[in-house]
Structure 1
Amino acid sequence: MACNSPLCGICDSKQKCVPSTAWCFECNAGLCGECKELHILNKASKSHGIIPVNEFQKLPVSVLQHEETCKSHGDRYQAFCDKHECSCCSKCLIEDHKNCKDLTDIKDVVCMIKSSNMMLEIENSMREVTADLKRIQKNRAGNLSSLKLQRQAIKKEIQKARHVVNNHFDRLERTFIERTPYNRK
């Protein structure tokens, strides 16, 4: 049976096609309403970060593509070090971050980042800024074009005025020459 929306991971493993209504970041799986309730009640999974699936689908790809295991040790990340701005597994904590004081449980960090409306607001703000910059660029290009046209019009006006003034001086010169007594024969 084919479904278009994300499936409930638990129901899918039972060969049932049930759309998910929530997403668990710890399990990286969708949950239907019934399975979500059981997931929350289960002692092992009640602390997992769960958000509505429609909110999960709105998250940018860059947020969703995070590594879950340490590249150096292959263990799951346990904490986030604010000082070094990196995720740490239990071995990293012992080896490299034993003196670090600003450590946060990775579940809290991931859930906070992924479910945060701030990420969506920042993304929307960036789109608005991009649109504004394109509008400003188009406006400036229009202004430059308008200035070029105005410059050409002013140049033509100056040429016309110079032509009129030159003609006037030519007439004055001819008149002066014609009326000068010593030029008469």
Structure 2
Amino acid sequence: MTSTILCGTCHFADIIKDATQWCIICEEGLCEDCEKIHRSTKITRTHKIISLIDYQQIKEVMHKSCSQVTPLIEAAVNIKQSTTLTDLEDTINGALHNTKTNIKDIKSSAEALNIQEENIKKYIKEMREKLNKHLDDMEQKLTKDLSTKSEYCKTVYANTIKQLISADNKLAKLKKETESLKQIA
């Protein structure tokens, strides 16, 4: 028991006695003496009396103020022979099985997701390395090709400059000879 419940009948008479039973109809505790009177009095003889231990276990699930809920006393009548209780137990067991299965499935999915994530990261890294190698190879090839073409162009430019300097020298000599000829003639 979590807390002491007093006998309601005795308490009404200013006597403090611990209850040992509970009347579901009257919704109050009864000591041993008052329980005997309660069971023998014509008006309370048919009341359902349960042990205080049983009451402590079910008092948290009672909905006294809810108008849509069937009172526990009515729902509990012939409950042990009722298929409703068996159906409820089966439903609860099914729900427990489903939640355990769902938890297992979600954990399994989370693990699979972690593995997939690692595989994708590995694939991305490998692709980046391949791309980097390909770009490095392209850079080397293009740089080599550029150097070769640049050297060729520089050689052509140097030859052209030599030819132009030679032509310039010849033209300068021809000019000088022309001027000399002009002065002599």
What's the TM-score, normalizing by structure 2? 0.48
Higher relative contact order (CA closer than 8 Å, sequence separation 6+): 1
* TM-score normalised by the chain length of structure 1: 0.48
Q: Would you tell me which structure has more strand in proportion to its own residues?
A: 1
Higher Rg? 2
